[in-house]
């Protein structure tokens, strides 16, 4: 477990490199951001949940002063924290979500160490130099992330029963599905952020046994969307 509290899982891409880092952030409703980051090569795992507040054991119905957030694990040798930040700010407008539902929807970004806060400052400075107004994003030290209920995890993927049925062959438990790199990519596909060809091409670059890789590609191609 790293400083963020993100549990290491047996995700497919976690075997590619050992340089796994974590980021926790909020962009309003957490369903779309999970799909957005989940489709990115280099992102190993995604989860949605609650963070930023003081209430104990928040739930969707009783969130208290927490915000809807996502937590991602990513391979920094494939996608950098700086690139994660650019995707974050390029894909939401804090003015549109802040205070819309109190603290439930917030533009919020957490840092785990001095290196992350320095990267955040550097990206903000670069963006302002290029004429982008500084966003009204809350930036805070990471404290704790509370995973949301299962029904919110991989929300768009779960709208396709055939996909869920076929994926159950590989991931018999909800925990295994949530931590799956493949499920993260397919959640991005279900939302329209990527396509099947890109996912197949990426799977063929994963360091998997040849027979496992072949069966995974065949499974993905058999899904009816």
Helix (H) or strand (E) holding 188: helix 181-191
3-state SS class at 198: helix
Direct distance between the N- and C-terminal alpha carbons of the chain, in angstroms, rounded to an integer? 35
Eight-class DSSP state of 134: P
The label of the residue with tokens 């840092």 reads: 111
- What sections of 98-173 are H helices per DSSP? 114-129, 161-167
The tokens describing 166, both together, are 């076929």
Q: How many CB atoms lie within 10 A of CB 158?
A: 18
Counting other chains too, the contacts that 209-213 makes at CB distance below 8 Å and 24 or more residues apart are none
Q: Shortest CA distance to 112 belongs to which of 5, 224, 219? A: 5
Give the helix/strand (H/E) hosting 84: helix 81-90
Active site residues: 29
Residue length of the chain: 225
């Amino acid at each position: 477990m790293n400083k963020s509290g993100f549990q290491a899982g047996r995700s497919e891409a976690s075997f590619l490199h050992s340089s796994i880092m974590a980021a926790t952030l909020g962009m309003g409703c957490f369903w779309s951001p999970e799909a957005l980051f989940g489709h990115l090569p280099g992102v190993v795992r995604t989860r949605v949940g609650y963070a930023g507040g003081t209430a104990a054991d928040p739930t969707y119905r009783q969130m208290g002063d927490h915000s809807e957030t996502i937590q991602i694990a990513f391979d920094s040798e494939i996608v950098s924290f700086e690139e994660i930040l650019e995707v974050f700010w390029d894909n939401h407008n804090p003015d549109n979500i802040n205070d819309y539902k109190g603290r439930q929807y917030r533009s919020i970004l957490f840092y785990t160490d001095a290196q992350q806060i320095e990267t955040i400052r550097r990206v903000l400075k670069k963006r302002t130099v290029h004429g982008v107004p500084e966003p009204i994003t809350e930036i805070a030290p990471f404290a704790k992330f509370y995973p949301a209920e299962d029904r919110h995890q991989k929300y768009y993927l779960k709208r396709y029963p055939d996909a869920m049925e076929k994926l159950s062959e590989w991931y018999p438990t909800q925990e295994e599905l949530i931590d799956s790199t493949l499920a993260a990519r397919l959640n991005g596909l279900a939302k329209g952020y990527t396509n099947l060809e890109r996912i197949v091409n990426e799977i063929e670059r994963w360091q998997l046994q040849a027979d496992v890789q072949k069966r995974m590609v065949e499974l993905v191609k058999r899904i009816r969307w």
